[in-house]
Amino acid sequence: MKKIKVGIIGCGSITEKRHAPEYLDNPHVEIAAFYDLNKKRAELMVEKFGGKAVDEYMEILNDPEIDAVSDCTPNNMHCIISTKAMELGKHVLCEKPMTKNVEEAEEIAEMQKKTGKIFMMDHNQRFTEAHKRVRDIIRSGKLGKVITFRTTFGHGGPESWTESKSKNTWFFQKDKCEFGVIGDLGVHKIDLIRYLTDSEFESVCGMGGTLHKTFENGDPVEVYDNAICVLKMACGAIGTGTFSWTYYGQEDNSTILYMEKGIIRIYDDPKYQIKIIYEDGKMEELEVEAIQTNDNQTKTGVIDAFVNAILKNEESPVTAEDGLISIKVVKGIIKAIEEKKEIKL
């Protein structure tokens, strides 16, 4: 079987720690090329993972031998690169959040429909074993419906993750990362709650602020570093989302579902990734797999799912429409914070 040739555009930490090693691990893939504004970064990726470093990203998009692209650029570039890649016949795996506004997300979704190319968002929480199992439990009906929930994603901030380790990271710049922590971390949990409940968001409200993060010169960053929101679902459930770049010391990536016949706690215990507390007080503890953290890199399953969709010519498991919906919810949260009122979606 001919291997799928992949080009990776953007060579930051997400490429070095997740995309490239997972492509290298997949027997059906050949990494053909890397591009980065800093060519030394692309050359470093070549040293570690093979392929070649190119001078312009259009060399990857115009190469007829390359079948698929990982778009690992800052958020403000996703629309430009992902749409052009599909237009030129490439399948696309795009880093989250999909874009920096709703209009650009709609452009990507329209181009996907127009070209029929496979487009996948890297919402990796869908692929953890605990989340997949909990979705099956919810669908089984044995605990009834989800009534309320709380979901949290917080860590010490992107400056500890990026390859430069600088407080001047693009994550803190509004023109490149307009949604701040809500787009960086919150978007994962927005997609996860949709995935778990099979339901859409109806309305949102929230509070957010730039509480602690600064640039190297001491000025506050240009985007929110913390946000807490209330999320109302079409299924009737109401829950909270807490997203933070200031959880110094320990990451929190937990979700708790309060249901008609019990409670499910996910990634809330260091040993048991799923804990089910039934209404009679009985407890079921399941040890499946630890969730990936910035300090503990494990295989996400995203790359394999993307490659499998290409091989089978199937719709991706996280579509452009999924990405668009998440961006609409993120934008709704930002609007709710700014206007200090509930926003209907």
Same domain, 37 and 157: no
Same domain, 251 and 158: yes
**pLDDT digits 0-9 by tens, 67-105:** 999 999 999 999 999 999 999 999 999 999 999 999 999
The CA distance from 32 to 94, in Å, is 17
Query: 3-class SS at 280?
Result: coil
Name the residue among 3, 170, 180 with its Cα closest to residue 77: 170
What is the reported pTM? 0.94
Same domain, 284 and 306: no
Q: Is the pLDDT of residue 183 over 90?
A: yes
Same domain, 335 and 188: yes
Same domain, 17 and 114: yes
Same domain, 166 and 248: yes
Q: Is the pLDDT of residue 296 over 60?
A: no
The CA distance from 123 to 190, in Å, is 10
Same domain, 134 and 282: yes
Joined together, the tokens standing for residue 224 give: 């929110």
Q: Is the pLDDT of residue 186 over 80?
A: yes
Same domain, 112 and 236: no
Q: What is the DSSP string of 175-210?
A: TT-TTHHIIIIIHHHHHHHHHHHT--EEEEEEEEE-
Same domain, 309 and 273: no
Residue 161, pLDDT score? 76
Same domain, 167 and 180: yes
Same domain, 239 and 279: yes
Note down the domain range covering 287: 125-299+325-344
Name the residue among 235, 199, 217, 219 with its Cα closest to residue 325: 199
Q: To which residue do tokens 């969730």 refer?
A: 291
- How high does pLDDT run on average in the chain? 95
In the sheet that holds 29-35, the strands lie side by side as: 52-53, 29-35, 4-9, 68-71, 91-94, 119-121
The CA distance from 45 to 54, in Å, is 12
Q: How many CA atoms lie within 13 A of 144 on its CB side?
A: 13
Domains contained in the chain, number? 2
Same domain, 90 and 19: yes
